[in-house]
A and B are shown apart, each in its own frame.
Chain A
Amino acid sequence: MDLPDAPPEQGMTRTYVLVIVCHAAVITLLWLFGRIFSH
């Protein structure tokens, strides 16, 4: 069976970008949190 073509994203791209940005922010906060209280 041939695979269907890659599906259109239907407006989810912004959400994906938001997920990655928020995740990077959470990791940065956790790193800061660790540094503040470990030193």
Chain B
Amino acid sequence: MHLLDWFVVVGYLLWIVIDGLRRTKGATEVEGYFLAHRSLPWWAVGLSVMATQLSAITLVGTTGQAYADGMRFIQFYFGLPIAMVILSMTLVPFFYRSGVYTAYEYLERRFDVKTRTLASVLFLMGRSMSTGAIISAPAVILSIIFHWNLTLTILAIGVPTIVYTMFGGVQAVTWTDVKQMGVVIGGLICAVVALIVGLPHDVSVYRALHIAGTAGRMNTIDFHFDPNQTYTFWSGILGGLFLHLSYFGCDQSQVQRYLTAKSLNQARSSLLMSAFVKVPLQVLVLMVGVFMFLFYVFNPPPMLFNAQHRDEVARSARAGEFHALETDFQRAFDARRSAAAALASGSEGDRAAAQDAFRQASGDMRTIRAKASALVGDISGGQGYNESTGDTPKNDVNYVFPTFVTTSLPPGLVGLIIAAIFAAAMSATAGELSATSSATVMDIYRRLIRPEAPDAHYLAVSRLATAFWGLVACVVAHVAVQLGSLIEVVNRIGSIFYGSLLGVFVLALTFRRATGTGAFVGLLTGIVAVVIFAFSPATRSVSYLWHNPIGVGVVLVVGIVVSLFTAPRTAP
């Protein structure tokens, strides 16, 4: 990396830590530490909500996904704006007015302490694992691209985040999130501009997008109803609706953000900001991937983007086979580039023939890449590379964006994009640390272990809890690398809790006769039902977006039935 890039990355890290530490003034009591004294403006909270959701996995993985598969991933977010409106009308007023610190505290007020504790423990289990994945995925990718030490890369992301979150609390998290979102959006815009400028002079953006369309990269919406297709209009608008209702309504990492707003309407506005901005922002992220695809239509791409895998094969006994594939790949690339040039400049008649040639060459390149991938899998005993697992650190498409950035952008801009990847990872991690700390202290420690203690004691414990969960995240990040595709399973288990958690909140809000035992049994049954559904051979292929409505349905049915046979809590 160029000296100027180092200057930008190190300067960014120092700026964020110093700025975060400047916010410690407001964090001298527990309420300031976890809720910023409910003093933050809606736009800062709204940016923080988006920053917590947008991790480096989104930045690197989604651009790679668009490179390989086009724009269809945008459908995942179609349920989000509707979810934000429903939450603004229902859960947000209840949370805000009841003065709770955590979403699960509300469950005790409505039901009982066992339901609150179970929900909080489920959140802590899921989040401690996923925070590790948030750090490990970009750390693995950056360490391979730049040949950095993996442990040091994990610590470079984790330690500054722990420091400013531990001392500055949610106020530091929110204000650094605002700046980090600026860095991320600035980096994405610079990348799109650089990619457009990098198109050949005789190829207009309009023609280039037609070429992307010929390769199937512009398929934005699929109206077919197929539960086995992950991203369709229906899975996005229905499954995505339940997923986003659960995430923004029942996940403490999001609930805590809008509890810090100045007023109820400011809390609502912070969520509605995502409703307006999230889909266009994801379009920007996906367009980076589409323009990278176009960049590599006119410039030779590596057959495999992961340099470590290329090196492994080059050192193996099957290096000759790999080089032969590379020669075929280069030939197919030349054919595709010629077809693309004809598509961009030819007459209508020429274009039809060029389209066929383009699709033929693209198919050849895909087949050769699949052979190369299988070769890497064979060499590492099937453990090292398996695209079908979707394993984040090892999937080759995750290396497309970092490879493009480091090989094709000028010094300075490389540093900005690397800083943006750091910013995305740090902002998502900081939000999770603050949320896991608040759930640990308010739902477990203060409620069950030490109910009566001075505020200063809880503040000290909160800081220790933040540091503890930060260290756990770094350790999980390190272990996750060895776990390989198991991390995918861990992430899947995390997503299994969401629908059932939402089911408990829906039960609380819609069924007055619901009892604590009904909610508790409903929650447990919902989770077991979704686990069986997610992992049984007959239903395993159904898109995970449908797990959430199933979880909600099971919790509601079981919760209502059990409630009808159990006595409601009498008023004290």
Q: Which A residues lie at the B interface, using CB under 8 A?
A: 1-4, 7, 9-12, 15-16, 19-20, 22-23, 26-27, 30-31, 33-34, 37-39
Cβ-defined contact, A37 with B210, below 8 A: yes
Which residue from chain B places its CB closest to the CB of A31 in the assembled complex?
B221
Q: Pick from A2, A9, A38: contact of B213, CB below 8 A.
A: A38
Instruction: Give the chain B neighbours of A39 by CB distance below 8 A.
Output: 213
B424: interface (CB < 8 Å): no
Q: Is there contact, CB below 8 Å, between B81 and A23?
A: yes
Pick from B89, B216, B512: contact of A3, CB below 8 A: B512
B156 within 8 A of A: no
CA distance A9 to B280 in the complex (A): 27
Residue pairs across A and B with Cβ atoms less than 8 A apart, 9 shown, are A1-B109, A1-B571, A3-B94, A3-B110, A4-B94, A16-B89, A23-B275, A34-B218, A38-B218
Contact stretch, chosen from B264-272, B301-309, B391-399: B264-272
Binary A-proximity of B101-131 (CB < 8 A = 1, otherwise 0): 0000000011000000000000000000000
Complex interface: chain B residues within 8 A of A33 (CB)? 218, 220
Within 8 Å by CB of B74, from A16, A30, A38, lies A30
* Chain B residues in the interface with A (C-beta under 8 A): 71, 74, 78, 81-82, 84-85, 88-89, 93-94, 97-98, 109-110, 209-210, 212-213, 216, 218-221, 264-265, 268-269, 272, 275-276, 279-280, 283, 508-509, 512, 571
| Min C-beta distance of B387 to chain A, whole Å | 25
Checking B88, B98, B218 against A12 with a beta-carbon cut-off of 8 angstroms, the contacting residue is B88
Cβ B82 vs Cβ A23 within 8 A? yes
Chain B residues with Cβ below 8 Å from A37 are 209-210, 212-213, 218
Please give me the residue from chain A that is nearest to B84 by CB atom. Answer: A19
- Which residues of chain A are within 8 angstroms of B279 by Cβ–Cβ distance? 23, 26
Q: Tell me the dominant secondary structure on chain A's binding face.
A: helix
**A15 to chain B: which residues have CB within 8 Å?**
268-269, 272
Contacts of A34 in B (CB 8 A): 71, 213, 218-221
For B280, the chain A residues whose CB sits under 8 A away are 26
Q: Which 10 A/B pairs are nearest by Cβ-Cβ distance?
A: A34-B220, A37-B213, A7-B93, A37-B218, A38-B213, A23-B81, A30-B220, A37-B209, A19-B275, A16-B85
- Nearest CB in chain A: distance from B93 CB, A: 4
Q: Which of A7, A10, A22 has the most chain B CB within a 10 Å cutoff?
A: A7
Contacts of B98 in A (CB 8 A): 4
Contact A20 B512 (CB under 8 A): no
Partner of A19, one of B78, B81, B93, B221: B81
A20 & B85 in contact (Cβ 8 Å cutoff):
yes
Contacts of B71 in A (CB 8 A): 30, 34
Q: B109, A19: Cβ atoms under 8 Å?
A: no
A11 to B89, CA, bound (A): 12
Contacts of B110 in A (CB 8 A): 1, 3
* Minimum Cβ distance to chain B for residue A16 (Å): 5
**Residues B219 and A38 in contact, CB atoms below 8 Å apart:** yes
**B218 engages A10 (CB within 8 Å):** no
Give Cα A4–Cα B78 distance, bound, in whole angstroms.
31
Chain A positions within 8 Å of B85 at CB level: 16, 19-20
CA distance A26 to B80 in the complex (A): 13
Q: How far is the CB of B492 from chain A (nearest CB, A)?
A: 28
CA distance A31 to B283 in the complex (A): 13
A34: min CB distance to chain B, Å: 4
Q: How far is the CA of A13 from the CA of B272 in the complex (A)?
A: 12
- Nearest-neighbor residue (CB-CB) of B233 within chain A: A27
Distance of A33 from chain B, by nearest CB (Å):
6
Bound-state Cα–Cα, A8 to B98, Å: 15
Quick one: which of A1, A22, A30, A37 has the most chain B CB within 10 A? A37
Query: Nearest-CB distance from A28 to chain B (Å)?
Result: 10
Given A20-B81, A34-B220, A37-B218, verify A9-B276 contact (CB < 8 Å). Answer: no
| Minimal Cβ-Cβ distance residue in A for B275 | A19
Q: Is the CB of A30 within 8 A of B283?
A: yes
Looking at the assembled complex, report how far the CB atom of A29 sits from the nearest CB atom of chain B, in whole angstroms.
9
Q: Which residues of A contact B276 (CB under 8 A)?
A: 19, 22
> How far, in angstroms, from A13 to B499 measured CA to CA in the complex?
27
Docked CA distance A39–B218 (Å): 10
